[in-house]
Structure 1
Amino acid sequence: MTSRVTFVAPATTPSLRRARFDAGDSIEDGAAARARSAARSLRAAERAFVSPSVRCRETAAALGLAAPAVPELSGLDVGRWLGRTLDEVGAAEPEAVAHWLTDPGAAPHGGESVRELCARVARWLDTSGAADGRTVAVVEPEVVRAVVVHVLGAPEAAFWRVDVRPLTATEVTGRSGRWNLRIGHDLGQSGGVD
């Protein structure tokens, strides 16, 4: 049997609008309504998971998913940059931001590197995510980026070249070592997510 994992990016938050490293704010009212409306576009799944963040848990609830939080699907740990905007950090630490954006192994913020995130997400996908049948996971955008990098066998430097919009679905099918990818489907559009 084939494994099918649909990764859903969370609804919009004030932090997302301001390019702020998420500090736990809730999804916007309009975004919650959009998620509730989009719930019918998700096909039934045997399993559901969620990143531990507030915005992912609230998006999952709005989609009608009862899902346990999975630490392996957490967003990128940005250490001391948490709660600050990218502009604020860039103004205060321009060399550190430039290094972080160009070197996947860098973690000048004292948190996790892109390389570490990609490895963590790849391990989860190739083990827990590879279960037969359908799985839905509401995850941070950077987790979706890591999935795309892994599935395509792309270099980690490609991580920042993947845009992930709120309330979009990225789906992988197959199994460990042989994944196929379908990206960027807007939830709520006719046709649903296969």
Structure 2
Amino acid sequence: MVARITLVSPAVNAALRQVRFDDAPLDESAARRVRASAGALPPHDGVLTAPSERCRGTAEALALDAAVAPELRDLDVRRWRGRSLDEVAQEAPEAVALWLADPAAAPHDGESVQDLVGRVGGWLESWPGYDGRILAVAEPAVIRAALVHALGVPAQTFWRLDVAPLTVTELSGRSERWNVRCGRPLAAPE
């Protein structure tokens, strides 16, 4: 059997605009853009969402009845939570540089990028054998981690992958053999 997993990145919210290690609900203009895109969703049999407000809000605006999947939670940056990248970089530039250069580093005392890739890879490998299509609204970092795992590329590649808001990344395959289609905008049908 072939697993088919579609990952949808959430809409932009205040935390993403400010490059802040935080979560916030969608504002009304973002929710409106999401609702306009609901008709562009690919077919699916099951729906999951990351536990963050932005992902749950995106799923809700897409009119999806999504189960919360803790495995899809964002990268845990423990001590940096609530702060912007600029604030942290001004206070601890060496820590930020290390974090961006070494996927095993966790200067925030949370989860390293390497740990995130392992967690998401474990989740991804749990689906082969599932006979259906899963759609999941997931954090951009989680989607990047899924791509790193699926493609079998080094964890250093994580920061070189860009996941734009409201885009679709499709994974199909089986254990340790994935095909990827990424970056399709989730746009209203014309």
TM-score, normalised to structure 2, is 0.96
Q: CA deviation at 1:172?
A: 0.4
For 2:96, the aligned partner's letter is V
For 1:40, the aligned partner's letter is G
| Match status 1:95 vs 2:98 | no
Residue by residue over 1:103-142, the C-alpha shift from the partner in whole angstroms, topping out at 9 and shown as x without a partner, is 1011010110000000000000010476222110000000
CA distance in 2, matches of 1:132, 1:144: 22
Q: Which runs of 5+ in 2 are unaligned?
A: none
Residue by residue over 1:150-185, the C-alpha shift from the partner in whole angstroms, topping out at 9 and shown as x without a partner, is 111110000000011111010001122211000011
| Match status 1:42 vs 2:58 | no
Q: CA deviation at 1:190?
A: 4.1
Q: Which runs of 5+ in 1 are unaligned?
A: none
What's 1:8 paired with? Answer: 8
Query: Number of matched residues?
Result: 190
Verify the 8 A CA contact 2:71 2:119 in the aligned structure 1.
yes
Verify the 8 A CA contact 2:48 2:135 in the aligned structure 1.
yes
CA distance in 2, matches of 1:189, 1:33: 11
Residue by residue over 1:16-62, the C-alpha shift from the partner in whole angstroms, topping out at 9 and shown as x without a partner, is 0111112x311121111111111111123111111000000000011
CA distance in 1, matches of 2:129, 2:159: 25
Verify the 8 A CA contact 1:129 1:135 in the aligned structure 2.
no
Q: Percent identity?
A: 52
TM-score, normalised to structure 1, is 0.94
CA distance in 2, matches of 1:129, 1:183: 20
Is the partner of 1:77 in helix, strand or coil?
coil
Name segments (4+ residues, structure 1) moved above 2 Å: none
What's 2:115 paired with? Answer: 116
